[in-house]
């Protein structure tokens, strides 16, 4: 715990059997709850997670990265977590930064904290492909201009949230795919939450997951769409449900609306 606040780590997993143990090994002792959601992996991710003592939930089909996060956050809220940190189980981001990120929320400095690969200037040294780096810088600069923010990057998968954030933003209006990350961060800015960053070294290697060029392009188009929607919403020109304060939120213990989950989306947790 940090300042009497419960800290949960959520790991949205898909075919992460080879890197999961290394990731969990670096989780600090201050973590109270360790939750993994498996999105119908074809490898031994679930077996490894259970052997490591993680609270493990399984989807009955591959619903996508965004849907996986929705389940992660719902289960974390169900356990009473006050601070929730998402760590990718592919060992691309070091869990050793968890105390710093969670502390910034626990001490009420920020509501959202990002582990930025750009701060510190070592993204390329860590192996980030040139095309990803260039796209990251262009999209980030454009979003900062359009949204009036000054973040170093919008595309990191290492994020910490206060409970209030996850209960306030209409998460269930977001996409099931990779653009979920950008939608959530844009929602946080739109709803006025304080967003901070810490420098995070990253490493690219064969076992680490990474979306291909085709899906990267689709993600980039999704980022552009999300940003334009936010700008139009702020200007009062159109209204979009992902930025509607009355949109569908992730309320603990109630499950998803029918359209979000097919029958039997998760098995009981294995503890």
What's residue 54's pLDDT? 98
pLDDT per 10-residue tile (average), the chain, 271 residues: 96 96 96 97 97 97 96 96 97 94 98 94 83 92 97 96 97 96 98 97 68 84 98 96 94 46 36 34
Residues 6+ apart with CB under 8 A from 108: none
pTM summary value: 0.90
What's residue 251's pLDDT? 77
Helix segments in the chain, DSSP class H: 17-25, 45-51, 65-78, 98-106, 130-147, 163-168, 180-190, 213-235
In the chain, the domains with their CATH numbers are: 7-246 (3.90.550.10)
């Amino acid at each position: 715990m940090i300042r009497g606040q419960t800290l949960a780590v959520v790991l949205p997993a898909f075919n992460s059997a080879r890197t999961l143990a290394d990731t969990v090994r670096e989780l600090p002792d201050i973590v109270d709850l360790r939750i993994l959601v498996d999105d119908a992996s074809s490898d031994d991710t679930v077996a490894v997670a259970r052997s490591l003592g993680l609270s493990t939930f399984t989807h009955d089909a591959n619903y996508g990265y965004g849907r996986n996060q929705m389940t992660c956050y719902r289960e974390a809220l169900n356990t009473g977590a006050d601070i929730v940190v998402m760590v990718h189980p592919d060992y691309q981001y070091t869990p050793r930064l968890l105390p710093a990120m969670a502390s910034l929320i626990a001490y009420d400095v920020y509501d959202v904290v990002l582990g930025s690969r750009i701060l510190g200037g070592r993204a390329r040294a860590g192996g980030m492909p040139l095309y990803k780096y260039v796209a990251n810088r262009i999209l980030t600069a454009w979003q900062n201009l359009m949204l009036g923010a000054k973040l170093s990057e919008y595309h990191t998968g290492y994020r910490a949230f206060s409970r209030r954030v996850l209960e306030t933003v209409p998460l269930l209006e977001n996409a099931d795919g990779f653009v979920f990350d950008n939608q959530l961060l844009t929602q946080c800015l739109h709803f006025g939450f304080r967003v901070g960053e810490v420098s995070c070294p990253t490493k690219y290697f064969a076992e680490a997951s990474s979306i291909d060029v085709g899906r990267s392009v689709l993600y980039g188009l999704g980022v552009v769409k999300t940003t334009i929607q936010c700008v139009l919403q702020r200007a009062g020109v159109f209204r979009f449900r992902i930025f509607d304060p009355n949109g569908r939120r992730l309320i603990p213990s109630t499950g998803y609306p029918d359209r979000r989950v097919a029958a039997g989306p998760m098995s009981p947790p294995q503890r």
